[in-house]
Amino acid sequence: MSAHLSPIVSEFETEEHAASHDRWCRTKVQEAMNNTKPKLAHDEEAAKKVRAERPLV
């Protein structure tokens, strides 16, 4: 049985939940770092989205 964590100290109910989330987060960060797709700046992606949403006239 896992100890309950104080909501003032942690947003997770138990140490197991906190550890599980930590593993998930570290995995996601590592996957992003290992990604070989070309990097795209935020401004470029935002401009692409605006162009895609613009109505065709």
Q: What is the pLDDT of residues 7-53, one digit of tens each?
A: 677 788 888 999 999 999 999 999 999 999 888 899 999 999 999 98
Which backbone phi and psi does 8 adopt, to 5 degrees? -75, -30
Q: How confident is the model at residue 6 (pLDDT cuts 50, 70, 90)?
A: low
Asked whether residue 4 carries a pLDDT value surpassing 80, the answer given is: no
Cβ-Cβ contacts under 8 Å for 11 (sequence gap 6 or more): none
Question: What gap in Å lies between CA 50 and CA 52, rounded to an integer?
Answer: 5
Question: What gap in Å lies between CA 31 and CA 26, rounded to an integer?
Answer: 9
Is 12:23 a contact under the CB 8 Å cutoff?
no
Locate 55 and state its tokens. Answer: 């109505």
